[in-house]
Structures are given as structure tokens and as C-alpha cells.
Structure 1
Amino acid sequence: MYKITEIVAAELNYLELESPDGQSKAKICLNQGGSLSKFVFETIQILADYNSACYLDTYASSILFPFANRIKNGEYTFNNLKYKFQCNEIDKNNALHGFVYNKPFDVIDRVTTQEYASVTLCYKDEGKTEGFPFKFSIELTYQLNKNGLILSIKALNNDKNPFPFSIGWHPYFYSKNLDNSALNFKSDTKYVYDNQQIISSTTELDIEMPFQLKGVKLDTGYPLKTNEIQFSTPKYNMNLRSTSKENFLQLYTPDRQNIVAIEPMTGATDNFNNKIGLQTLQPNETYHVKWSIAIEPCNTHTNQLIN
């Protein structure tokens, strides 16, 4: 039987999902935006073990809503009205990663069976945030199962007015040796950025797949041609799939060794302005997206990279 355990550590509240044999675990922090702070699959470390005290610097596994990545100068126009977020990326003068990443989430459901454990968390916003005067709620459902992990997100417009949005996720994946690891995804374009890390143009993607990560430094975005991203490491192969109609990828290598952020998104950076992948949620309308992570330890090798 899968199980769910409540944990309190460093004044933070967590729920830990655990497989019957105790070899797979997923730990979610309720106080830090419902973020996934730990993921171990069949004793293999999948996510980087960032300290929770560094969360506001790393945004590790944070849910990015109502926008993913950046908004230039925090400013945008929607339905002929101008809005301005507070800029939390001070050095570049941008609004960064939405504003639910540090909100407390409530537990509204939990399920344990022989096949999986799942928890559903909810945050309700009353439209008081500067730059986004719209009421909404967002639900996150994490499911740990024999294949890996599924994150399902549901956003509901509780306002009388429509609002723009995109959604992203910011997990940092750990490899025992990043120099001996590779990514695989289908794209023919990468974004070019200005000095604020805002899209200024596009250029042809000049890398071959699988994309070998030896000696590579990344902070780059790509529009994807499929809903699939794969990551191969010495210990495990990962397949990340999305249910979004449009899919975008942001890759980032932090200063720490053997870690890469693989960030699936439903829209590009600054899309409140450039409209790339931007969607509108009407009053009482609900948007769903699901990201599924399938993990296979390297001794099985049945999960092949995209050809």
C-alpha cells in the first residue's frame, strides 16, 4: 500500500508520498507554493536536493503562474488596460515566475491505494496582487506511482473578467555525471535574448540530438514541436510528457555541478507582451494541464531516446 506522511521541518509543512517498498518518495512543501522538494525513484535521486532556505533564490520545482519566466519591466497591456507587477528580478528589472511560488497551499484531497498515492492542493487568490487584479484558484495534484510522477494543474477563473495566463514548472534534475548526460527534444528554433533576458528574436537551432551536456552552460528557451522531452543520465532515463497543445522548454544550468533545470511551459517568456503561447481564461472557465515524468533505471533500457 502506498502511504502519505505529514512532516514538519524547519517550520515548514510537507506531505511525503511513499511507495509500498519505501524506495520511491515524493515530498511536497505546502508553504512554498506546493513545490516538489524531493523526488527519489527506486532509491535513485531524481531532483536536486536544494535547501528550503534557498527556495526564493532557486525557485526549485516551483509552479509558475499566472505567467512562466519573465515579464519585461513587469509591464503588460490586456484588453486595452495597462498593468504593472512588482519586479522581483531586481538586476534585470523584470517580474519573474508569477506569484504563487511562495503562497501557502491547502490540502483538499489525499488518496492511497495499492497502485499510487496522490494529494491535491489548492490556493485561492482574491485578486489583490499588484498587476493582476483577478480572482482565481489553482489546484495541484501530485501522483506517485510505479512509473514515476504525475503533476496535474487546474486553474479556475473566479473573476468577472477574463485574464491572460501561462503556466510553467521549474524542477532541477540531478545527474550523477552531467557531462555524461543528454537531452532530447524536437525543435528547430531557439530564442535570442536581450540584456534583460527577454526574447528579442529567434535563430535556427544548431545542435544535434541527443544534446550532450558536457561543458554546456544554459539559460535558453525553445518552442517545441512535440509534447515530449527526454533526459538520459548514467543512473536513469526520464521521459517528460505534457498535455498542453503548445509546448515550450526553458533550460538552465545553475552554478552547482550535475544539475540542470528542465522547465516545461505552456508559453514563452514575456508572453504577456509578445503573445507567444499566451492564453486567456474566461470567467468560470477552467484550464487543465498535466506533466508526466516516467523514470526508468538504466539497467532496464526500455525507454529509448527520440530518434
Structure 2
Amino acid sequence: MKKSAFLVIVALLGVAHSAVHFVIEDQMIGDLHTKVLRNTKTGEYAQIVTDLGGRVEDLVLQDKHPLHKKLRSVLLTHNKNATAIKENAWWKNAILFPYANRINGGKYTFYNGSYQLPINDATNNNAMHGFLENKTMKVENQTVNEAGIILKLTYQFDGKDTGYPFHPYVQLNHMLSDAGFEIYMQVTNMDPTEPMLFYVGWHPYFKCPVYKSVITFDRQCNKWAHVLLNNHAIPTGVTESFTGFNGGTVIGGTLNNPTHYDDAYKAINNPDVILCTSSVLRTTLYDPEADQTVFLHQDRFPIIQVFTGIVNATGEQAVAIEPMSAMTDSFNNHDNLQILSGGETWSGAVGIHVQ
């Protein structure tokens, strides 16, 4: 049974302080402040860069195999290089807000207002991945007990970001427990009278021998559509049925040149499964060399972008499997776009465990 982020939070907050094997440590990487959430019993930890949008810089988890329980370094890192962390040329493990992926030409309209976002995808002349990546988060609260850790980070947008004159209050709860790692996200429109728009994504790069590895989409309650893109990486509005990433085939290609993906996929409710109402999806990545499976849980994130291009670009063996709460360019196509009235709140979650 899939457990929602809300139940995990309740469990973490509701356990008495006894036999605690979790700690939070403050660590610097150069001049960058980080928080390390550590499970001293298992050796698992997550390192969060609070100075840069609550980014997950490092994540090590133990698999749940009853015999070997091996630790796995799950995500690509910048190897403790503060300069590389700040530059983050490939958006490693960043939280993407108030838009994920690309906005066509950086332009959109909202309630008769026209806006121009900064162009940072020069190749395609698009705005990409939002503003939170470079914001310093406030450490609002730290909760540690025998069930795990919650690190609560917040940021209040002031409406001064170019092309985005809105006032979202963003809350990220980074959680480490014996069950794995999770990020619970909450967004509130702090303007009491005016609506705002946004969507959010996460950009994790999962370490694996890419060409040998197997991605499996969750088909328990859903079918999948492949989203067709134009030559500027913007959705055309056309989708096609997608039966790949079904656990039966590897990504393919070669070690240094895996099959190229920079593709978007959308989960579509399967009308033949009438009893499924959950908003939670589970995407898996199987690494045959380690004989380990990484599980990516997505609550209210129905879009996935798969990207293998970092192998050719940097030589690093990893695949990005990016959950998004709405479609690329949803400021214009409105596909799953979140619009909040004054004072309204949206929430969702992503999580990882290893087996």
C-alpha cells in the first residue's frame, strides 16, 4: 500500500523521544551552508544546501534487501566543490519553481497581463526551471525523533523576480526516516486578493550504468502518453500512446552513448481501473550491476521528463527522471497548471527509497 506524505509527517511528529538514531548536522561546503540529515543506525544521509533553494546535494540510502542491506549513493553530486554547486550547469537535483522545464520564449499571459521571463535556455530561446534554485531558504524548524527527521525550509517570494510579480510562500519539508527520503512541498499564495500561477518540479540525476538500466512507469491505475515536442523543446499539443518503460527493456545504446532521451511523458487515468483514485505514482529504476532498484514516489506529480544527455555532456553515468506537477510550458498550454486564489494552498510530495 502506498503511504502519502501526510501520513509520514504525522508519524514523524507523533513519536516520543526515545532510542533516537537520527541527527541533523550543520556542514559548510566552502561558503555554502548545508544541513545533513543522518541515520546513525544505517549510515543513510541526505545533504541539503539551504543557500540554494533547498537543493539535495547528496543522498545515500540503504536498500531494503533482508540479507545484504547495501548503502547506495543515489544521486549525482558536485564532489564538495562549492563553485560547481553554485554554477550547477546541469541543474543537478534542484527544486524547480515557479516553473519546471521550459516556458516558450519566456513569454506568457495571465489575467490579461503579459510577462517576459529571463531567457536562460539560449539554444531554444526559452526560460527554464524557475527562480528558487538561487534563493536562500529560511530554516524554519527541525524535528528529530526516533521515527526520523523533518527539516522545514521556507522562502517568501517578494514579487520582484523578472516576469513573475507574484507572492508565493514555499515550504519544503525534507524528511529522512527508516523508510527512505521524502520532500513534502507546500505553496501558498500570500496575496490576499490576487491569483497566482505556478508549477513545480524536481531534477534528480540517478546514478546508474545508463545503457544497461531499466526504467519502469507505474501502470497500476494509469496509461502513459508521450508528449511530442517541437524543435525548441516545447510541447506541440499532440500526444501519442506510450507503452515503453514497462520493465521489459533496458535504456539501450552504449556505455558512453546511451539512447538519447529528453522526453516528456504524462500519466493518464486508465478508465478500465475504476477503483483507483490515488494521486501517487511510483517510478522505478533498476541498476543491474548493483542489483538494486530505486523507487521514486510522486504525489501530485503526473508528468515525467526523462533525460540521458548528461552522459555525453560530462561523462557522468546518470539518468534524470524529473517529476513535474504540470506540463512543460504550462504557463501557456495550461496542462495541469496550478492557479491559486488569494490565501489558497497547494501541496505535493516526491520521495525515494532503495530495494
Matched residue SS, 2:331:
helix
For residues 206 and 287 of structure 1, what CA distance do their matches in structure 2 show?
31
1:249 pairs, out of 278, 288, 304, with: 304
Q: Greater shift after overlay, 95-104 or 196-205?
A: 196-205
Once the two structures are superposed, the pairs formed by residues 114-129 of structure 1 within 5 Å of their partners are: 114-129=146-161
For residues 90 and 31 of structure 2, what CA distance do their matches in structure 1 show?
19
Which one has a larger percent helix, Structure 1 or Structure 2?
2
For residues 224 and 239 of structure 1, what CA distance do their matches in structure 2 show?
17
Which of 1 and 2 has greater Rg?
2
2:59 is equivalent to residue 39 of structure 1:
yes
For residues 36 and 142 of structure 2, what CA distance do their matches in structure 1 show?
11
Matched residue SS, 1:140:
strand
Counterparts in 2 of 1:170 and 1:208: CA distance versus 1, 3 Å: closer
- Residue 53 of structure 1 corresponds to which residue in structure 2? 83
Q: Greater shift after overlay, 184-193 or 48-57?
A: 48-57
Moved over 4 A (4+): none
The question of whether the paired residues in 2 share the 8 Å contact of 1:108 and 1:121 is answered with: yes
Q: Greater shift after overlay, 192-201 or 233-242?
A: 233-242
- Residue 165 of structure 2 corresponds to which residue in structure 1? 133
Q: 1:198-246, CA deviations, whole angstroms, 9 ceiling, x for partnerless residues?
A: 11232332535114112221100000137221111133212222221x6
Q: 1:145-191, CA deviations, whole angstroms, 9 ceiling, x for partnerless residues?
A: 1121011001111113101111111111111x223311111443211
Q: Greater shift after overlay, 47-56 or 33-42?
A: 47-56
2:200 is equivalent to residue 172 of structure 1:
no
- Residue 184 of structure 2 corresponds to which residue in structure 1? 152
- Residue 190 of structure 1 corresponds to which residue in structure 2? 226
Which one has a larger percent strand, Structure 1 or Structure 2?
1
User: Following TM superposition, by how much is the alpha carbon of 1:88 offset from its aligned partner in structure 2, in angstroms?
Assistant: 1.3
Matched residue SS, 1:87:
coil
The question of whether the paired residues in 1 share the 8 Å contact of 2:283 and 2:295 is answered with: yes
- Residue 25 of structure 1 corresponds to which residue in structure 2? 45
- Residue 290 of structure 1 corresponds to which residue in structure 2? 349
- Residue 261 of structure 2 corresponds to which residue in structure 1? 218
2:194 is equivalent to residue 161 of structure 1:
yes
Q: 1:35-63, CA deviations, whole angstroms, 9 ceiling, x for partnerless residues?
A: 00000013311111235533431111111
Q: 1:52-101, CA deviations, whole angstroms, 9 ceiling, x for partnerless residues?
A: 53343111111111111100010001112111111111221111001111
- Residue 278 of structure 1 corresponds to which residue in structure 2? 337
For residues 29 and 295 of structure 2, what CA distance do their matches in structure 1 show?
31
Matched residue SS, 2:252:
coil
For residues 19 and 180 of structure 1, what CA distance do their matches in structure 2 show?
31
The question of whether the paired residues in 1 share the 8 Å contact of 2:77 and 2:92 is answered with: no
- Residue 112 of structure 2 corresponds to which residue in structure 1? 80
Matched residue SS, 1:195:
coil
In structure 2, the gaps of 5 or more residues are 1-20, 63-70, 254-258, 269-279
The question of whether the paired residues in 2 share the 8 Å contact of 1:147 and 1:295 is answered with: no
- Residue 258 of structure 1 corresponds to which residue in structure 2? 317
Amino acid in the other structure paired with 1:203: E
- Residue 277 of structure 2 corresponds to which residue in structure 1? none
In structure 1, the gaps of 5 or more residues are 297-307
2:235 is equivalent to residue 199 of structure 1:
yes
User: Following TM superposition, by how much is the alpha carbon of 1:285 offset from its aligned partner in structure 2, in angstroms?
Assistant: 0.9
Q: Greater shift after overlay, 124-133 or 183-192?
A: 183-192
Root mean square deviation, CA, Å: 1.6
For residues 323 and 245 of structure 2, what CA distance do their matches in structure 1 show?
20
Matched residue SS, 1:92:
coil
The question of whether the paired residues in 1 share the 8 Å contact of 2:119 and 2:128 is answered with: yes
Counterparts in 2 of 1:179 and 1:106: CA distance versus 1, 3 Å: same
Amino acid in the other structure paired with 2:37: L
Percent identity, please.
28
Matched residue SS, 1:119:
strand
The question of whether the paired residues in 2 share the 8 Å contact of 1:47 and 1:171 is answered with: yes
2:284 is equivalent to residue 230 of structure 1:
yes
Amino acid in the other structure paired with 1:19: N
The question of whether the paired residues in 1 share the 8 Å contact of 2:152 and 2:173 is answered with: yes
The question of whether the paired residues in 2 share the 8 Å contact of 1:135 and 1:158 is answered with: yes
Counterparts in 2 of 1:31 and 1:127: CA distance versus 1, 3 Å: same
Aligned residues: 294
The question of whether the paired residues in 2 share the 8 Å contact of 1:16 and 1:27 is answered with: yes
For residues 334 and 168 of structure 2, what CA distance do their matches in structure 1 show?
21
User: Following TM superposition, by how much is the alpha carbon of 1:116 offset from its aligned partner in structure 2, in angstroms?
Assistant: 0.8
